[in-house]
Structure 1
Amino acid sequence: MELISNFLQQSITFFAIMDPIGISAIALSLLSTNITKTQISQVAFKSTLTIIIAFFVVLISGEFILKVFGIDENSLKVMGGIILILMAISMVNGSTKEKTNNEEKDYAELAIIPIGIPIAFGTGLFTTIIIFKHEASTFLDLFSISLAFCLNALVFYFVLKNSIYIKKYLGVTGQNIITKLMGLIVGAIAVQFIISGIVHLAKGYMGA
């Protein structure tokens, strides 16, 4: 029962942090208005594959990397917040320009960065995965974490794959409104990341 309880908690946590519906709205603002169903499916597949690979890299070596380079997770929060706030400013100002051509290379790059990383897989997931791994004591616990994430990755894939229909119903005006609103939300999250990271780093240095 405890394993099932932990699995449900992990699944809900991953879903809340990933926010696939919100990410699909952001992705729509980054992709061309002329993107086809086939191309959006390719973007969804590559983005999902990116976050799955990132998940297992972090699960296996994330904690080791932090220790080797002596990086505090709060430093990651600050840097991640800066990246997000720059993205948020672009979204609010409408400077995230839509592409008028359909170059598959551009879509492939966008699928990996920034849609896959850091929009879908950011510092929030990074630190959460490391925390969950700290709490894991058996192989079944690690399997539970992996299954919870992969199920959420599957949900992310289907939502992003079908985001073209969301764009169809929303129209350009609706899309722009959502982009600006998402920009405000992303900006607010970014500020929280930065402040939280700075406060904890300051406490750590003052207490040292």
Structure 2
Amino acid sequence: MSLESLIAAFVTLFVIIDPVGIAPIFLALTGDRTPAGRRRVALRAVLIAAAVLILFALVGRWLLGAMGITLAAFRVAGGLLLFWISFEMVFERRQQRKSTTAERSVAEEAHDDVAAVPLAVPLLAGPGAITAVILLAAPAGSDAVRLALVVGVVLAVLAATLAVLLVAVPLDRIMGNTVRMVVTRLLGVVLAALAVQFVADGVLALAGTT
């Protein structure tokens, strides 16, 4: 993988996970905890999300093959899903959906530790992130080096996410709703462009097989 591909992969996954947007939800879910307790929740959530995403990075291509889905078809479908996520980001709908999901998860089940649900799954390792990881890792096939690079990108994004969560309190005070809204919209536009590229690559691959 080229440096440009690695950067594109990092940006794609970082935008989808959206740690800046998750930070206020994280604060709301851990509002009754001490700073040390909040740090433990953040670390546990990131570790669980890492395990989930790395698992799909390693078995994603096999899973597609087992279901008879070609990589080209999955690129188109995955690109459309990511485009919908970018649409939500641009029009300020994703944050509300994530907040609703988190509230519903907490209300439906009593969680002593919210790190696994809803923080790790589905907020960090949700359908969008899992789809992106499969799209990024599937072309590697059995190439151990390329798979290792994709796993490295996943770990780098989650490390950045952990850093954001650890400074969520001062970050939330500095950014406020207006700045966060602007950043989310800009990242949504970037994700839309990346999603269109996934769809275009998938369509070209499908056309080449006919």
**TM tier, smaller:** 0.5 to 0.7
Percentage identity across aligned positions? 20
**2:145 aligned with 1:168:** no
1:186 and 2:191 correspond: yes
Change (3 A) 1:191 1:144: closer
SS at match of 2:18: helix
Q: Distance in 2 between matches of 1:193 and 1:161?
A: 32
CA distance in 1, matches of 2:189, 2:178: 17
For the pair 1:64 / 2:73, whether they are aligned, the reply is: no
Q: What's the counterpart of residue 128 of structure 1?
A: 136
Secondary structure of residue in 1 paired with 2:142? helix
Measure the CA separation in 2 of the matches of 1:92 and 1:150. Answer: 24
Q: Which residue of 2 aligns with 1:42?
A: 41
Q: Distance in 1 between matches of 2:87 and 2:149?
A: 34
Q: Which runs of 5+ in 2 are unaligned?
A: 108-113
Deviation per residue, 1:27-52 (Å, 9 max, x gap): 247x2774536568636632541232
1:14-163 maps to which residues of 2 (within 5 A)? 15-19=10-14, 23-28=18-23, 31=25, 34-35=28-29, 36=31, 42=41, 45-59=44-58, 61-96=59-94, 97=96, 99=99, 103=103, 105=106, 108-109=117-118, 111-123=120-132, 125-132=133-140, 134-136=142-144, 148=152, 151-152=155-156, 153-163=158-168
TM-score by length of 2: 0.67
Normalised by the length of structure 1, the TM-score is 0.67
- Contact kept? 1:47, 1:111, Cα under 8 Å: yes
CA distance in 2, matches of 1:13, 1:92: 19
Structure 1 residues 165 and 82: CA distance shift in structure 2, 3 A: farther
Q: Aligned Cα RMSD in Å?
A: 3.9
Partner deviation per Cα, 1:83-102 (whole Å, 9 max, x = no partner):
222222222222332849x8
Q: Indicate the SS of the match to 1:194.
A: helix
Please give the alpha-carbon distance, in whole angstroms, between the structure 2 residues aligned to 1:95 and 1:146: 29
Q: CA deviation at 1:174?
A: 0.6
Can you give the 5+ residue segments of structure 1 that lack an aligned partner in the other structure? 1-5
